[in-house]
Amino acid sequence: MRREKGFTLIELLVVIAIIALLLSIMLPSLRLAKKKTREVVCRSNLKQWGVIFLLYTQDNDDKFYRTWRSTSVGHEWVGVTRPYYQDPKICFCPEATKVGDYLVGGMMPIEPDVAWGPFAEDDTRTGYPGMAGSYGINDWVGDPSLGCSWATSDQLWVTPTQKGANQAPMFLDAFWLGGWPKETDTPPPAESGFGGSGHMQRYVVNRHQGSVNAVFVDFSVQKVSLKGLWKLKWHREFDTSGYQGTWPEWMRGLRDE
């Protein structure tokens, strides 16, 4: 009788070891490819937001909405943009879709993959009920003629046609729905963006390998390094020479541009 030859135990172990080795080599590349895909989707979302803000300005004499006014009124961009989109998915970077239980005190996230919101369904501010997302507005963008007590027309970006609009961020990755960064704001000690002084920290969230995606005032979309956020023209009098202090440890190895 002829006996069929099979694999020995040693041969099977060798095959399993080779497969495990190949997986260990491939998995980092697969994870990186997945992150790159999410980054592309994030930029696609922001391109849609660029169109949304463009359409709004075209309907309103080439001017932006009213900027931050008070806590009781909130961020008016939330309400004025609602008629221009239907799918709430464009409110979220694919790297930051966790909502609700992951927040500190119901507001600030502890990880970069956490979104803000949702706001209560009985919130009286226009557009706020149920609203959540992981992008935030630059509150130095807005029309002061509609009412603004904390900034001047010399500082604010009122229209998308002003000189330097391509250097001014408008809507970008953030852990809160808005803020007004200043040159003196310090970087956060954690990758979530939580813990620095001032409002710049709200946009220093490490979602895209040391960078964030942003729509600029001229509606272009760019990738910006986290250190490079201090070199953008957040308001028209902003000093763009960059952060002059010491970077926290997690940011020291990140690129400047």
Domain ranges of the chain: 30-251
Hey, what amino acid is at 153? Answer: S
Tell me the two tokens of residue 217: 């005032």
Cα separation, 189 vs 187, whole angstroms: 7
Q: What is the pLDDT of residues 224-239, one digit of tens each?
A: 999 999 999 999 999 9
- Cβ(112)–Cβ(205) under 8 Å? yes
Read off the pLDDT of each residue in 243-255 and give the average, rounded to a whole number. 92
The full 3-state SS of 107-120, as one line of letters, equals CEECCCCECECCCC
Tell me if the bond preceding 118 is cis, omega within 30° of 0.
yes
Neighbours of 155 (CB within 10 A): 16
Cα separation, 7 vs 24, whole angstroms: 24
Phi, psi (5° rounding) for residue 227?
-70, -30
Q: What is the pLDDT of residues 7-61, one digit of tens each?
A: 677 777 777 777 777 766 766 655 666 778 889 999 999 999 999 999 999 999 9
- Cβ(151)–Cβ(112) under 8 Å? no
Q: What percent of the chain has pLDDT over 70?
A: 89
pTM of the model: 0.84
- Cβ(41)–Cβ(91) under 8 Å? no
